[in-house]
Amino acid sequence: MAENNTPDIVYTKVDEAPELASASLLPIIRSFAAAAGVSIGTKDISLAGRILATFPEALTEAQRQSDDLAWLGEWVKTPEANVIKLPNISASVPQLVAAIKELQGQGYALPDYPEAATTDAEKAIQAKYDGIKGSAVNPVLREGNSDRRAAAAVKKFAQSNPHRMGEWTKDSKTRVASMDGGDFFSNEVSATLDKAATAKIVLETASGEKVLKEGVSYPAGTVVDATYMSAAKLGAFLEDEIAKTKAEGTLFSLHMKATMMKVSDPIIFGHAVKAWLKPVFDKFGAELKVLGVNPNSGLGDLLARVKDNADIVAAIEEVTAARPPMYMVNSDKGITNLHVPSDVIIDASMPALIRAGGKGWGPDGKEADTNCVIPDNSYAPVYDASIEFFKANGKLNPATAGTVQNIGLMAQKAEEYGSHPTTFEIPEAGTVKMILDDGTVLHSHAVDAGDIWRSASARKAPIEDWVNLAIDRQKATGYRAIFWLDASRAHDAELIAYVKPILEAKGVADKFEIMAPREATIASLETITKGENTIAITGNVLRDYLTDLFPILELATSAKMLSIVKLMNGGGLFETGAGGSAPKHVQQLVEENHLRWDSLGEFCALGESFKFLADQKGNEKARVLGDAVDAATQGILDHDRSPSRKVGEPDNRDSHYWFARYWAEALATQTGDAEMAAHFAPIAKALAEGEAAIVAELAAVQGKPADLGGYYHGDAQKTAAVMRPSATLNGILG
């Protein structure tokens, strides 16, 4: 679908700290790339950009924005695709509402998000906004499977400069709590289709049949799952764990992914809010409803709505005093684990807690042992096994630890639990059935009102591609390779039926192990503790979780991972790390004009993208650029030029100056392309001679508030002024 003006490389425009960093880094990249005849374009996949693209009818002609996500969704299916993808917001409802409000304040006549839609018009608006919520971007772009690992230079630096790890003790009270029945794990059924089919999902009740979804198409060989979580059992479990936490004297914490799992996890989060304030909901349920309280939006929204009702406020204070202390997002500001559903994201929060020796921050501003509540038992054993391992063996030593690489199944929306239109909160008791077009009932569950039912699928071609990618990676490294699949789980059993024949046909079955997640976690921790390496070959959700867990333990962050997606039609998607901590970075920038975001993930992705372009289009100058990027990245690490966390010390902008300098020096001294060397020699000289002026200009802006003109939809000129404050550097780059 390539257009005549399609750039060689597309850099995504996103949100928060990664996008702020882009305002500084992207001009450098464009300046250097131009010397190799490489064009760098941008496509807007930010939350604000997606909102504007969805409602052109509400905007003036000048305000309208193209649907860049749809364009990229087509481009990644072509061999020409070369995308550098930064982490974007996977919006929870509170984030979506906040972004809409900000845009309305900037003069965009967008409709409000109708959380309780009643009219057809409101339902239509809600449906359009719901298409923006959650992990709406990644399933569209990921037309290939994931190869994530720590770049060799990054791993070497982490071993030479080990980060601080919290101490684990054998008597730690920290634990993981999960449901022992009634959850998604225990209710899962799965089947592999022997022919192409279209399904409808219906709810049969005493009052008749309700169609939940129809026209869901699957090609032959697709693994189709269905499962549900019992609302009654979830409620009982949460109440029980609150009581147990109180008895144990630990912090209560809930770990969910209410951003990516945009349907299921916000509902589960809401059940936790209701369980925490059960006496208040029992007594004031009617009043809370009138005030528009939706527990799915979190405790923060609830408190804002009831602040003028003295009786409810007093009841909340009374209940809170009787509850165990809660794990805090911000102890100083009183922001609890249950305040905002997008504040505590399991793949970031659990590794951080494990790295800290099992400690979480309590309301008193002190660290304490924690009850980590993860209701569904599908992947909770990974965290439970990690905690028990460190209790028994003590903390991991980053100086000697090996590494866990990951090959993740994710192409064509594989295993997209909760991020798609086949997850439902059941309105009344009955039986949910998946019925194929030939009348076959593929799956069936008896459900009660309030239960959460969901289905997901994984297609044959992505599964086969995933297994072959794992074979290639194991062959390239010789590392211990483990498929994290549980033979006793319905979905995993269907995947194993694909995996084993491919391994046997390729003659490599002896090179691979298949283990359930708990056993695979223990085996992987044992392996890296010995200083050896392993490859975790996982499904989509575990890919998400493990590529935070192990990097945070090994490197202190997941933002420095090399993430390559080999698109199934020949293109390349290069991801730059995770963005879970991005909101705190923005807050610091706005307050102190210091951005601690580390662009190392972008550097790693950039080098791979240039080298891929060289292979793709025969542009050897692009290869020279890519090799020099690797040298510059090594320079950043060797000379400790990464951003500091503290105001007044070098930040993200300083790091970009040093990256440009090391990149120019590498290009000026390389001998593969004399023209490139001649071009960059004066630039390298100017960057070196301008060091004192550039560093002083960058330092001068710190310590004062920064005006970006918006959080979700900042002003481009204001952002550029904040992120490019060195006139000397800007002048050298042209």
Mean pLDDT per 10-residue run, the chain (734 residues)?
73 94 97 97 96 96 96 95 92 90 97 91 93 83 91 89 95 98 98 98 96 96 97 98 98 90 90 97 95 94 96 97 96 93 90 97 96 97 98 97 96 79 94 97 98 96 97 97 98 98 98 98 98 97 94 89 89 80 85 95 93 94 96 93 94 98 98 97 98 98 96 96 98 93
**Encoding tokens for residue 129?**
């906004």
The DSSP-derived string for 359-381 is: EEE-TTS-EEEEEEE---TTTHH
The pLDDT score that the predictor gives to residue 295 is 96
For residue 636, give the amino acid letter: I
113 neighbors 296 (Cβ within 8 angstroms): no
The DSSP-derived string for 42-65 is: EEE-SHHHHHHHH-GGGS-TTT--
**Encoding tokens for residue 694?**
């550039």
Cα–Cα distance measured from residue 340 to residue 334, given in angstroms and rounded to the nearest whole number: 12
Residue 115 three-state SS: coil
Cα–Cα distance measured from residue 695 to residue 733, given in angstroms and rounded to the nearest whole number: 15
The pLDDT score that the predictor gives to residue 563 is 87
Nearest to 338 by CA among 352, 325, 355, 357: 325
114 neighbors 126 (Cβ within 8 angstroms): yes
643 neighbors 650 (Cβ within 8 angstroms): yes
Angle subtended at Cα 466 by Cα 499 and Cα 577, rounded to the nearest 5 degrees: 140
Which segments of 530-599 does DSSP mark as H helices, in order? Answer: 540-555, 582-592
**C-alpha 204 chain-centroid distance:** 36
**What are the CA-CA distances from residue 395 to residues 169, 348, 439, 529 (Å)?**
9, 18, 55, 10
Cα–Cα distance measured from residue 734 to residue 727, given in angstroms and rounded to the nearest whole number: 10
Count Cβ atoms below 10 Å from residue 705 Cβ, excluding itself. 9
The pLDDT score that the predictor gives to residue 5 is 77
The pLDDT score that the predictor gives to residue 171 is 96
Residue 272 three-state SS: helix
**Burial letters for 263-299: b for 16+ Cβ neighbours within 10 Å, e otherwise?**
bbbbbbbbbbbbbbbeebbeebeeebeebebbbbbbb
The pLDDT score that the predictor gives to residue 578 is 64
Strands 9-13 and 40-44: parallel
Cα–Cα distance measured from residue 85 to residue 74, given in angstroms and rounded to the nearest whole number: 15
Rg of the chain, C-alpha, whole Å: 26
Residue 667 three-state SS: helix
**Encoding tokens for residue 590?**
């706005």
192 neighbors 221 (Cβ within 8 angstroms): yes
What is the pTM (predicted TM-score) of this model? 0.86
Element (H, E) at 534: strand 534-538
Element (H, E) at 560: none
Domain ranges of the chain: 9-143+569-733
Cα–Cα distance measured from residue 351 to residue 386, given in angstroms and rounded to the nearest whole number: 9
The dihedral region occupied by 182, where left means phi > 0, alpha psi between -120 and 50, and beta the remainder, is left
> φ and ψ at 548, to 5 degrees?
-105, -45
**What are the CA-CA distances from residue 614 to residues 153, 576, 618 (Å)?**
22, 20, 5
**C-alpha 724 chain-centroid distance:** 28
> What do you get for the CA distance between the two ends of the chain, in Å?
33
